[in-house]
Structure formats: structure tokens, C-alpha cells
A = this chain, B = another copy of it.
Amino acid sequence: SVLDKTYEGNGDDLPKVTQVMVPPPMLPKFDQVENGGPKVILVTFTVEEKKIEVAPNDSIWAFTYNGTVPGPMIVAHQGDFVELTLKNPATNTQMHNIDFHAATGAMGGGDVSLVNPGQEVTFRFRCTRAGVFVYHCAPGGLMVPIHVTAGMNGAIMVLPKDGLKDENGNPVTFDRAYYIAQQDFYFPKDKDGKTENFATVQQSIQALGESIKTLKPTNIVFNGKQGALLGPNALKAKVGEKVLFITSDANNDTRMHLIGGHADLYWPGGKFSNKPFTDFETWEVPGGSAAAVLYRFREPGTYALLDHNLIEAFAYGAVAQVKVEGKWDSSLMKVVRKQSPLQ
């Protein structure tokens, strides 16, 4: 049982490999099946406090790892260590840290990684469990939801050494992988209902301390900005390709749906040690977790990937697109008679 696993060594003697972070929805370079033995993956996150425009007239002092909402995806194999260096530039104003749901002990690293502006810290944790997991800032008290809903969260994927398995236990690979995070924002509003435009981080934080208490987001978007994955920024795929969608929400519940597609494979709780479910129309991502879904595209076209609370999707911003090239397969769908006058 997973209950009985034991471990040796703290990683000091393992080979070290630097993983270059890239902005979501892309993932860094990685092998689906482990190539070589366990290693220490070196990752650097630099905290950026900066104003971002989430929607027209809705800007926020965002807190970010490496400048993006969500932060970059890390990819490891089960048994690897992640060695994270967290840098908090002196130009920042707040203390920050990082809590990895993939890590064991010390508040997921939060207890050992709190850095003041001008400081950095390096710690290492073993990836004992396979799956996709959230990470986020957790500086304590009300600062936890404030920093997380100001954008300071992301995910790590820990692959099994021998890669993913399908519902029959057979190896399965994917052709592309995308990371999509739903972010709930709680923009403070002035008395006319307009989003407040704060001059300083400190003012913003104070107001967020009140606005989050509504429990009702003002904006719910994918990858930090309304339309971040729409139109020219849509995700891409080809008919026949198997695409791994990693979806996370660090705070509030999400129900992900790919219009016209399905979850061929959906790992319960996003954890790869469990047999994947098949055929899901909608997969839920409870707040504070991540999910992984593998889908093979069978038809070309522009797909929508959204939160199937359709109000969240179309009135709050939680919608992305996937543009899929290829040839139409009429064995799956066929128009028998086009739009015509009523008979």
C-alpha cells in the first residue's frame, strides 16, 4: 500500500538537472517515460508583484510566480526531487512563500520558504506521489486567500516513472499537453460599481481583505486574463492527436467541459496511481486541486473548453478554445438536412 512506502537518501547525491520554466498553457520539456534514474530537478521561481489587466477596466495588483497567472507548470517523475529556489526581489512589498500539495511535511514547504523582499530560499522535496497537484503562496491568515486569489498559484505534474496507463493498465502517451488554471478574482469596487484602481499594493490588499468575503468572484478566468486562450491565443491540436489537459483551481470549485469532446481518460482527483475513468462529459475540480484528462480529437473545428456553470463561462470569463485541424469524419456526425424552411 501507499501507506507503507519508505524512502532513502535526501537527494544530495543525485544528478541535478535544471528545468527551464515556460509560461502556461505550455509545459517545460520533459520525458513521458523516465529516462535514467531519479534526479534533482532545479527550478527557480521569482515572485513578481505587478499590475495586470484581467478584463477591460479590471486591473489588479497580481502576485505571481515568474510573472504569469497561473505560475509555471513543473514536471517531474515519481521519485525525483524538486529543488526550488524562491526569489523575492527587493522591489516587492510583501512576504511570500510556496506550499506544494505534492510535498510532504512543513506545510508543503510553506513553513520553510517564507521570504521577505530582498531574500531567497532553496528547499527540496521528494515527489512521492504521481499526479497533478496545486502549489500556491500561503503566507498565513487572511493573506493566504488574498495572495491565492491575486494569482499566486500553479501546478506540478509528477509522472509515473513508466508513464501513464490507460483504463486497462496499458501504457498510454500523449502528443501535446496544456495547462489551464481557473482563477477567481474578487475585484474591490467603488460606490459606482467600478473596479478600484489602487495606487499601491498595500491599498489593494486591504480592500481584497474585504472583497473576498463576498465569496462571489467578480471575474473567473483561465490563465489570468479574460480571453487568454481565445481566438489567436487558442490552444492547438490536430485530428488524431491525444492531448493531455491539466486543469486546476486553487480556490473555488470548477466543472470543466470540452464542448463536442470528452474525457477519454480522467484520473480521479488528478492522481495517476488510480485507474482512470472513461467517457466523462464534465470533470470537476474541487477548489484546491488539479485534474488531468486525456482526449483524442476525432473531428476538426474550434472547440470550447469551459466551466460548465455556463454563467461563469459566458458572463465571468471562464472559457478557452482549442483549434483542431484535420478532416471531418462523418462516421461520428453528419448533417442530414441543413437549415431549411419548416416542413
Contacts and interface: CB of A to CB of B under 8 A. Distances in A.
For this complex, into which size category does the number of interface residues on chain A fall?
35 or more
A124 B290 CA distance: 35
A18 interface: no
A294 B271 CA distance: 16
A82 to B, nearest CB: 10
A147 B54 CA distance: 27
A104 B7 contact: no
A270 B283 CA distance: 11
A11 interface: yes
B336 A123 contact: yes
Nearest to A158: B279
B255 A289 contact: yes
A281 interface: yes
A340 B85 CA distance: 11
A155 to B, nearest CB: 10
A182 interface: no
Contact of A308 (B9, B166, B287): B287
Q: How many identical subunits does the complex contain? A: 3
A19 interface: no
Residue in A11, A106, A111, A133 whose Cβ sees the most chain B Cβ within 10 Å: A106
Interface string A254-265: 010101111011
Given A311-B212, A332-B128, A299 B172 contact: no
B213 A260 contact: no
A314 B281 contact: no
A192 interface: no
Given A85-B337, A122-B335, A149-B311, 7 more contacts: A3-B172, A111-B301, A116-B339, A142-B315, A215-B309, A250-B308, A282-B286
18 contacts: A3-B166, A101-B257, A104-B299, A106-B299, A107-B260, A119-B340, A124-B336, A144-B310, A212-B315, A250-B310, A257-B288, A269-B280, A271-B279, A274-B277, A282-B287, A282-B289, A287-B308, A287-B310
